[in-house]
Chains A and B, each alone.
Chain A
């Protein structure tokens, strides 16, 4: 039994490229779910330590045994030997072609990553595979994508970016934040030219503070006007009750129809005027 062992070990150590070919070949013919999984595991394949841990020498189907037969063809076919007791290659083949649960629970972190990607999204899984396939980049394109589920945010990881679910969620959150920052930049005048999140936040804070100060100033002004008119309400020729309904309509008209266009055009000068009047330090 020595020669088969020698050929086996020499095969698994010497030509890792044969793995990829032989792992690509049979799973293209199998059903699509396990096929894609098998391909992903094939991408992870050149890391031998990850697969040495997978102890499951599951019931090797005939297909896998023939595969190992073909892969070992260069060193002389030792089919019996591999099926029975080999730990390195046939176990690897079995684990790659087995179902999701085995993948997610058998191995360490990379397996878990692959499992979570399967849970999340087909495109994520594909991206994960392409980013993980550093040694064999050509295989990422042959990946058949699984049918995507609807209620997930579509996140795409570029090559070299982290792909576990926390990083993906963080990236989605950051995108959302930057999008809202953009909305705020459109809202705050003079904020479009500012570059950098901290400066934009500064501008926003200044703007809100100045608006609140304007409210304060205007309430003081209104208080003066209001108390003046409250002290001698006959001055304008209206008793206060009548004044109420009258002004009510007038103000509704003012704010409803006319002021909209006026404000849209002249908001900036008015704003400037307000700053001068209230002695605010903001200088846009």
Chain B
């Protein structure tokens, strides 16, 4: 489905992501407060999700705009952890798109991290890379889940 160079590239990302993600999971397991209220479970799964995204972003590195955006967001979140939830940030939306598919482009901008500040060309490029990494992430997580639940 994907060309040869791409799979090779994603393979190294895959290994890096898997290592990092499993390390985080083990850390969570070690100091997990073993309570089973719904709120706790939701919080923990949320944390695992964030860990998955951040592991992928770390694995990709800061070369890509979307991973940079994720890393930046995580860093900001860590800094403002105990503070107020979220201030309304100024959005930099570049408006040189054709008016036909404006809504879809905006939707795509919201989906791809860091996509609000991109023009159309780089948005599409980042989307391609993001999709690749996201599918890798899903596969790895699936494999880990299967492996653990055996």
Partner of A256, one of B1, B11, B147: B11
Chain B minimum-CB-distance residue to A232: B34
Q: Known: A184-B131, A205-B108, A256-B15. Is A267-B22 also a contact (CB below 8 A)? A: no
How big is the A interface, by class? 35 or more
The answer to whether the Cβ of B9 comes within 8 Å of any Cβ in the partner chain is: no
- Mark interface residues in B5-19 (1 if CB within 8 Å of A CB, else 0): 001000100110011
Q: Give chain A interface residues in 173-208, CB to chain B under 8 Å.
A: 173, 176-177, 180-181, 183-184, 186-189, 197-198, 201-202, 204-205, 207-208
Interface: B117 (CB within 8 A): no
Known: A187-B2, A231-B34. A208 touches B134 (CB 8 A): yes
Q: Does A248 contact B (CB under 8 A)?
A: yes
Minimum CB–CB distance from A280 to chain B (whole Å) comes to 12
Q: Report if A135 contacts B (CB, 8 A).
A: no
CA A261 to CA B124, docked complex, whole Å = 28
B28 at the interface (CB under 8 A from A): yes
A198 neighbours in B (Cβ, 8 Å):
100-101, 104
| Residues of chain A lying within 8 A (CB to CB) of residue B100 | 197-198
Q: Is B88 engaged at the interface, CB distance under 8 Å to the other chain?
A: no
Q: Mark B95-107, 1 if CB is under 8 A from A, else 0.
A: 0000011001101
Contact (Cβ within 8 A) A181 B19: no
Complex contacts, B111 vs chain A, CB 8 Å: 205, 208-209, 212
Rounded to whole Å, the gap between the CB of B21 and the closest CB of chain A is 9
Is B147 within 8 A of A254, CB to CB? yes
Q: Which of A227, A250, A254: most chain B Cβ within 10 A? A: A227
> How many interface residues does chain B have, given as a range?
35 or more
Q: In the docked arrangement, what's the CA distance between A181 and B104, Å? A: 14
Give the number of residue pairs across the A-B interface with Cβ within 8 Å. Answer: 167
**CA distance in complex: A220, B49 (Å):** 8
Instruction: Please determine whether B128 and A240 come into contact, CB atoms closer than 8 angstroms.
Output: no
B43 closest partner in A (C-beta): A223
Contact call B18/A230, Cβ cutoff below 8 A: no
Q: Are A215 and B131 in contact (CB under 8 A)?
A: no
**Is B70 part of the binding interface, using a Cβ–Cβ cutoff of 8 Å?**
no
**Contact for B139 among A183, A184, A212, A263, CB less than 8 A:** A263
**B29–A254 contact, CB under 8 A?**
no
Residues of chain B in range 80-126 having any CB-CB distance to chain A below 8 Å: 100-101, 104-105, 107-108, 111-112, 120-121, 124-125
Q: Contact: A202 with B104, CB < 8 Å? A: yes
Give B141's nearest chain A residue, CB to CB: A218
Asked if B107 and A226 make an inter-chain contact with CB atoms under 8 angstroms apart, the answer reads no
Nearest Cβ on chain B to A252's Cβ, whole angstroms? 6
* Assembled-state Cα–Cα distance A216/B107 (Å): 19
Contacts of A188 in B (CB 8 A): 131
Binding site for B on A (CB under 8 A): 173, 176-177, 180-181, 183-184, 186-189, 197-198, 201-202, 204-205, 207-209, 211-212, 214-216, 218-227, 229-231, 233, 240, 243-244, 247-248, 250-252, 254-256, 259-260, 263-264, 267, 270, 274
The 9 closest A-B pairs by CB, nearest first: A230-B29, A180-B124, A219-B49, A223-B45, A219-B48, A218-B141, A201-B104, A225-B148, A220-B45
Residues of B whose CB lies within 8 Å of any CB of A are 1-2, 7, 11, 14-15, 18-19, 22-23, 25-26, 28-30, 32, 34, 36, 41, 44-46, 48-49, 52-53, 100-101, 104-105, 107-108, 111-112, 120-121, 124-125, 127-128, 130-132, 134-135, 137-145, 147-149
